[in-house]
């Protein structure tokens, strides 16, 4: 009734994965990290303060002049 293989029957179990699969997993992780870094950098440099109200002369906030 149980047609599922046990862990010992799986080729990739317990450190027996092929070097090709190991390299593919490393490339996928590296790609995801690279995309995240590029996204973070672009968001940091190209984001604008969209919630700012006012101008430099009239900032919209009561700041006491010292």
pLDDT at 23: 94
**Residue matched to tokens 């006491």:** 64
Torsion, Cα 26 29 30 34, to 10 degrees, reads: 170
Position 66 pLDDT exceeds 90: no
- 10-65 pLDDT tens trace: 777 777 778 888 899 999 999 999 999 999 999 888 877 666 666 777 766 666 66
pTM over 0.85: no
pLDDT at 37: 97
Phi-psi region for residue 14, left (φ > 0), alpha (ψ -120 to 50) or beta?
A: left
Helix residue ranges per DSSP H, the chain: 19-46
- DSSP reduced 3-state for 58: coil
Provide Rg for the chain, Cα atoms. Answer: 27
């Amino acid at each position: 009734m149980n047609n599922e293989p046990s862990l010992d029957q799986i080729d990739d179990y317990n450190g027996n994965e092929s070097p090709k699969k190991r390299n593919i997993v490393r490339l996928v992780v590296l790609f995801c990290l690279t995309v995240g870094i590029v996204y973070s950098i672009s968001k940091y440099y190209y984001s604008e303060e969209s919630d700012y109200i006012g101008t430099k002369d009239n900032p919209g906030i009561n700041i006491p002049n010292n």
